[in-house]
Structure 1
């Protein structure tokens, strides 16, 4: 592959992504969320409606600068090989998946400001959280190879209901880590999630006195 051409395509995609996002934010701040349409955003950004959907699945995502989450292979392998206990490693995996819904970690403060200004945007963030939880839950059931499952057998529950509960608890830990210190979470989400997991672990397994 020609690295020069690939670099040009990446730069062009990043430029279009930014144009659409900036146009969506500007229009929503001017006209409100309900009055802003995909067509209006695409026109203001200088792209076609079809191009809009190549970058953002919904108008709300364009405003927030978010996209549908996915499971990175490197983070899955880290989950499988991690020496952490199953709860913090699951929370780290979930946080990694959630981070894929943002564009290279950019726009953190703006997203918070837009959600404060337009609380209805929060519904879209919840959709991404639920999608991320489903990705992790499905991976625990379907993606563990026999030798990997054997390595985790002493920690990972085999009952699907218990696995679902594990993912939900990991989600609670991730949200706690974020709400306790959003700025720190944006800087170093892995450390924040591990610390939050330790707090929840101490509550689930209190030390006798």
Structure 2
């Protein structure tokens, strides 16, 4: 699909603001980095800044509202639903960041640990979005539309989302991952451990 000139310019402006904010923060301190300074460095107005980022912290980290891809029709069918949901969560989390910015984001989070709260809030927003999308899909699915043993579709979708997020949280804790990309092998290994443990406890 061809991207329009307007969309390309929006992307370029987003990156220009993020680049300016991130570099100012790395050169100085987040308390000294103002929206006015970021806008000036990026060559935009403060009003334009707020069209792209709600806070300077969002601009420094380069985060945006999460988006969720359209689910395949058979997403809820068959084995491996936890795995598919974990991958969906990972995709949604990655949608909040720009690609190829992992090293700088890692340096920012190492220098300013309080920005981890910003990252955490974005992850929670992504989980809410996934849970909502799953609930809608379940409500339209003959095998899921009645919920489970007296629990509503919304509750089931929330539990599935929470369970699918466990392997990702495990990796963040054990690998000390801040801004770096989780590797597919690591995600697969954490999923295997999670499912083995669940079977052992069941």
- Name 1:119's counterpart in structure 2: 113
- CA distance in structure 2 between the aligned counterparts of 1:156 and 1:62, rounded to whole angstroms: 45
Pair 1:150–1:205, CA change in 2 (3 A): same
Aligned to 1:167, which of 154, 161, 172? 161
Q: Distance in 1 between matches of 2:150 and 2:32?
A: 48
Corresponding position of 1:19: 16
Deviation at 1:49, TM superposition (A): 1.8
The residue matched to 2:30 in structure 1 has which SS? coil
Partner-residue secondary structure (3-state), 1:80: coil
SS of 2:143's equivalent?
helix
SS at match of 1:186: coil
Change (3 A) 1:102 1:114: same
2:66 and 2:113 mapped to 1: Cα distance?
21
Q: Contact 2:75 / 2:81 at 8 angstroms: preserved in 1?
A: no
Query: Which residue of 2 is the match for residue 109 of structure 1?
Result: 103
Asked if 1:92 is matched to 2:87, the reply is: yes
Q: SS of 1:197's equivalent? A: helix
CA drift of 1:58 comes to 2.0
Pairwise CA distance, 1:171: 1.6
* TM-score (normalised: structure 1): 0.78
TM-score (norm 2): 0.81
CA change 1:149–1:33 in 2 (3 A) is farther
Where does the alignment leave 5 or more consecutive residues of structure 2 unmatched?
A: none
CA pair 169-79 structure 1, distance change in 2 beyond 3 A: farther
Tell whether 2:62 aligns with 1:65: yes
5+ residue gaps in structure 1?
none
Correspondence for 1:134: 128
Q: Which has the higher helix share?
A: 1
Equivalent residues in 2 for 1:178-197, closer than 5 Å? 178=172, 186=181, 188-189=183-184, 192-197=186-191
Distance 1:66 1:60 in 2: 9
Closer, same or farther in 2 for the Cα pair 1:141/1:64, shift >3 Å? same
1:151 CA drift (Å): 6.7
Contact 2:138 2:145 in 1 (8 A): no
Q: Across the two proteins, how many residue pairs are aligned to each other? A: 199
Instruction: Give the aligned partner of residue 42 of structure 1.
Output: 39
